[in-house]
Amino acid sequence: MLPKLFLLAATALLSVNAQSSAPAAAAPSGAAFTFKETYPSGGSKPTPKPEWMELIKNANITNAPVVKAGPDGPTQSGNADPYCDWTFTGCTRPDDIVACPKGQWGITYDDGPTAFSPKLYDFLDKTQQKSTLFMIGGQVVAFPDLVTRAYKSNHEIAMHTWSHSYLTTETNEQIVAELMWTATAIKEVTGVTPRFYRPPYGDIDDRVRSIGHALGFIPVIWNHDTDDWRVAEDKTFNEKWIDGNATQWAKDAATAETGGISLEHDLYQKTVDAAIRILPTLQKAYKVTTVGQCVNQPSYKEGGANATSSASASASASASVAPKSSSAAGASGSVSPAGASSSSAAQNTESGASRTAISSAVLVLGASVAYMLI
């Protein structure tokens, strides 16, 4: 097993280096932290513990079918949307967190922690900016020191599942495992259990929602996509479009009916560099906070931590359809032509088989390092 892991890890490292214009920041050693739990391998689809299934045994889980997975994600069957599937129609429910109140901005970063995260954390510390970090379970096990650092710096630690898979294509058992293994790893490192999770690719329907709700978790989507994920997927993508998107959002702040929650990543060097470039632009136009702060909800099941007296964001979750991303296609040569609509499979952020493969490779790399150290 280990030789195979080493081979996959080496392949992953080559993939990451190919996407980076600069060497990775030195990754902290996980040797100082010893996990008591035995975790699934990073990037794998885990199975749940029996006691976790008991948590949803008597819950009212929506009886929606498991969505068929195609080469590029979930495949839609017909035009009807009886189960409020975000991937196909942009549909959201009142309990989904989609946006912050007017004048506020929830800054979020997905897919960490990675070897590129320290540079982002350094900048956030320097500017005294707190963020919401949607962490992948396998990466938590691979980089516990980074998780500890982020938590002690008062960033909001949230979940991005264990394997970064499309949740609507998974069984009830797999969804429980994705969330609970990630929550378990985060709690073992930090001592707290996150309340917020972001479904990979925004892929969620009523079945996924009801399972998450039964486990005590709240889904967080977004209404502004930086398109930074395209750096690794689209060779024609111009990184300046990311800056153009942020500039347009800042211009829109005065007239926008709601605030924003943005989609960014600390998965690659280029996405971290972009995050550092655009944050000052957003800070000048909005009150930039964690998601928990802007919606006035506690970050963790244990209570407290990061919630403030900010105005309630109930209006941000009241719409039945997610608001379109305001990346202003065609407004400027520096703005992403994708438009980053948050409501269709064709324009689904984080979509595409190539990104799934890259993310899985990175997870295997991190997991192999972690298992060597434990």
The answer to whether residue 125 is catalytic is: no
From 209, 176, 166, 197, select the one nearest 67 (Cα to Cα): 166
Contact 179, 153 (CB under 8 A): no
Per annotation, catalytic residue among 155, 265, 266, 273:
265
Q: Sort 276 into a burial class: Cβ within 10 Å, 0-12 / 13-18 / 19+.
A: middle
DSSP line for 289-319: E-HHHHTT--SBTT--SS--SPPP-GGGG--
Residue type, 94: P
Contact 135, 363 (CB under 8 A): no
DSSP structure class, residue 31: T
The answer to whether residue 225 is catalytic is: no
Per annotation, catalytic residue among 110, 111, 225, 266:
110
Q: Is the dihedral of CA 363, 367, 368, 369 positive or negative?
A: positive
- What is the chain's percent helix, strand, coil content, to nearest 5? 40, 10, 50
Residue type, 330: G
Q: Which two tokens stand for residue 103?
A: 């004048």
DSSP line for 183-200: HHHHHHHHS--B-EE--G
Give the residue numbers marked as catalytic: 110, 265
